Structure 1
Amino acid sequence: MKLSISIPDYVQTTAKMLVDEGFECYLVGGAIRDLLLDKQPYDYDLATDALPDEMLNIFPKSVATGAKFGTVLSLTQDSKGEVHEVEVTTFRSEAEYVDGRWPSSVKFVVEIDNDLGRRDFTFNAMAIDFSIADLGGNKEEQLLNIYDPFNGITDLNMKLIRAVGTPIERFKEDGLRAFKACRLASQLEFDIEEETLKAIPRALPVAEMVSMERI
């Protein structure tokens, strides 16, 4: 699906640096959800097939904030010279979660589908393909292709919070996800899809492992 969406110039610049070097780059996460709801995203996360070491060589200013998880922070200027942080993470799949918060290991992969399949809710598992976009220009609004393998746009239109794949598996992976579902339902005034809602009580033992500071 293609939609006209406004992306800040510094995000486009960060993506263009990767695309110009021959890598894939996608906007992922809650920013797409917020843009489709006409809300201002809090931040913009990118996903790429570039490895952390490759990103550190490409970005003029960057920090390896979570290299073992594939995450690099690019410090990119906008057109006014203000510096912004853009989190860029290598496509990855994850092994079993052992502490209710972090995977025991991650595996870098080359397909965006593997990366999106590990995410929490369908409307957070969409991606905008910057590899085929016109990047780096002054114009921020353009027609962009949204890759939506889990029908997140449909759930947004229906005002539904639906887990990706099997709900209990998603909640057992990360103890915060049950709380997040309830928080999003309140903030967005959405309903929680039936099977997703049923899985929340079953995930409470994992949720109890999360410290109060993280809730």
Structure 2
Amino acid sequence: MGSIDGKHSVPADEQRGFALSVVQKLRSAGFQSLWAGGCVRDALLGIEPSDYDVATDAPPEEVIRLFGKRRTVPVGASFGVVMVLDPAHRASPVEVATFRSDGQYVDGRRPVSVQFSSPEEDAQRRDFTINGMFFDPIEEQVIDYVGGHQDLQQRIVRAIGDAQARLTEDKLRMLRAIRFASTYDFSLDGATFQAIQNLREQICQVSIERIAQELRRMFAHSSRPRSLMQLSATGLLTVLFPFVPTDDDLRFVSDLEEKFAVLHLNRHETAFALLFDHLYVNDGENLRHRLKDVAAECRKMRFSNDETDTIGWLIEKSSVCRRGDSLPPHILKPMLADQRHPLLIDLLRSQESAQPAERQACMLLVDSLKKWTAEELSPQPLIDGETLKHLGISPGPQFSQVLAAIRREQLDELIATPSEATARVKELLANSTG
């Protein structure tokens, strides 16, 4: 199967070979079998598919019988979906789904029933034309019942059939349409765009976990500026984040788009940090209150603790860096010793063109990285709690305050040995009691 321009072909790697063997085995047993969906789309675009889906007229029980129970996992048997495992354990599982037509959707996500059917009917129940094609890997022939090949050539994301009805079936398709259009630099078909605008308020019917996963995939891709603009144009951005300025204030979105475009590292945490920092930067609250608000937004999105911590850390440290170029080493070193510091530098770089303070902060961080070794960034503490106990300090507020003070002076290179640290502790104690 070649690309649209005929310049590329799908590499015959192990994943492709395993997917081909699944088709061949089903064919040998007398069943129709084709590659389906995203793998066909990507291959036609000259992109090596990361996984393969197979569509067949074999019912799920026949798929299990043919490949054996030890090599199959029914992940949606009622919908005719079975995962087939590679016996050599070198390739990822291949999803085998029986051709089907869907019944009525009542929960905005799944049909209440399915009926096993033909390839034509199976194609008609899929989301977008570019995802509705099949490919016969034995005859090397594209099978297209929905006009997906033409839309792929014209670089259009179009819902199959009636756009409003198709997006109503599963409201998450609104976000998926934007992600596909942005990722491949395609346009949204007019009817599909209008349907998203009409249905945008209903995105809230989708579980926040599914929404968050789509946004992660958008923001972790270099096409994130296009995704942002499409989210704004369709009205989804203000539905998902109600505190985003309304459409008459496009400066917010255009400023954020510029920053998204400059990000080098494709990490969704950095993009979300920019978004949330934008939301609260003019709210008049101090940093601590802003971080509490950001953490609350992360919890609403059901982000993990690590994601929430990273987003908050980026906002906090970038705010600290904006104070100027006179940050002492005890502030700089822990930031640079943190494994997330490349994300912080990336975030600050994204703001360089608009904010001189960010440019200075970024230069300071980069220069400091060149100046200090890893050991200098995070040296072993000169004293610990046991040292303080021997000096007669009981655990309590003073205990932690003294440890923090000694650590600051160590990082600022004012003291360098345990004996100097011990002498400094005695000075601090004398000053506190004098």
User: TM-score per shorter chain, which class?
Assistant: 0.7 to 0.9
DSSP-derived class of the 1:46 partner: strand
Measure the CA separation in 1 of the matches of 2:136 and 2:21. Answer: 14
Measured against aligned partners, the alpha-carbon deviations of 1:96-117 in whole angstroms (never above 9, x if no partner) come to 10010010111111x1000000
Partner of 2:132: 125
User: Quick check: 2:98–2:116 contact (8 Å CA) kept in 1?
Assistant: yes
Q: CA deviation at 1:38?
A: 1.2
State yes or no: 1:22 paired with 2:30: yes
Measure the CA separation in 2 of the matches of 1:63 and 1:46. Answer: 15
| Among 71, 81, 85, the residue aligned to 1:71 | 81
Q: CA deviation at 1:65?
A: 1.0
Q: CA deviation at 1:206?
A: 3.7
What pairs up with 1:46-195 in 2 under 5 angstroms? 46-60=54-68, 61-77=71-87, 82-109=90-117, 111-130=118-137, 133=138, 144-195=140-191
Which ranges in structure 2 are unaligned for 5 or more consecutive residues? 4-8, 212-434
Measure the CA separation in 1 of the matches of 2:202 and 2:24. Answer: 40
Q: CA deviation at 1:205?
A: 4.4
Q: Which amino acid aligns with 2:105?
A: Y
Measure the CA separation in 2 of the matches of 1:198 and 1:93. Answer: 26
Measure the CA separation in 1 of the matches of 2:164 and 2:207. Answer: 20
DSSP-derived class of the 2:50 partner: coil
Q: CA deviation at 1:3?
A: 4.4
With normalisation by structure 2, the TM-score equals 0.44
Q: Which amino acid aligns with 2:123?
A: L
DSSP-derived class of the 1:120 partner: coil
What is the count of residue pairs matched by the alignment? 200
Specify which structure has the higher proportion of strand.
1
Specify which structure has the higher proportion of helix.
2
State yes or no: 1:209 paired with 2:216: no
Measure the CA separation in 1 of the matches of 2:197 and 2:182. Answer: 18
DSSP-derived class of the 1:26 partner: strand
Q: Which amino acid aligns with 1:23?
A: F
Measure the CA separation in 1 of the matches of 2:203 and 2:39. Answer: 25
Measure the CA separation in 2 of the matches of 1:28 and 1:99. Answer: 25
Partner of 1:141: none
Computing the radius of gyration from Cα coordinates, the structure with the larger value is 2
User: Quick check: 1:14–1:76 contact (8 Å CA) kept in 2?
Assistant: no
User: Quick check: 2:2–2:46 contact (8 Å CA) kept in 1?
Assistant: no
Q: CA deviation at 1:156?
A: 1.1
DSSP-derived class of the 1:54 partner: helix
DSSP-derived class of the 1:47 partner: strand
Partner of 1:140: none
Q: Which amino acid aligns with 1:125?
A: G
User: Quick check: 1:10–1:77 contact (8 Å CA) kept in 2?
Assistant: no
Q: Which amino acid aligns with 1:74?
A: V
Q: Which amino acid aligns with 1:195?
A: A
User: Quick check: 2:130–2:149 contact (8 Å CA) kept in 1?
Assistant: yes
Measure the CA separation in 2 of the matches of 1:83 and 1:56. Answer: 19
User: Quick check: 2:2–2:43 contact (8 Å CA) kept in 1?
Assistant: no
User: Quick check: 1:101–1:173 contact (8 Å CA) kept in 2?
Assistant: yes
Measure the CA separation in 2 of the matches of 1:170 and 1:197. Answer: 12
User: Quick check: 2:167–2:196 contact (8 Å CA) kept in 1?
Assistant: yes
DSSP-derived class of the 2:85 partner: strand
User: Quick check: 1:100–1:207 contact (8 Å CA) kept in 2?
Assistant: no
Q: CA deviation at 1:204?
A: 2.5
CA shift in 2, pair 1:155/1:125, >3 Å = same
CA-based RMSD: 1.7
Partner of 2:53: 45
User: Quick check: 1:15–1:25 contact (8 Å CA) kept in 2?
Assistant: yes
Q: CA deviation at 1:85?
A: 0.2
User: Quick check: 1:77–1:84 contact (8 Å CA) kept in 2?
Assistant: no
Q: Which has the higher contact order (CA 8 A, sep 6+)?
A: 1
Which ranges in structure 1 are unaligned for 5 or more consecutive residues? 135-143
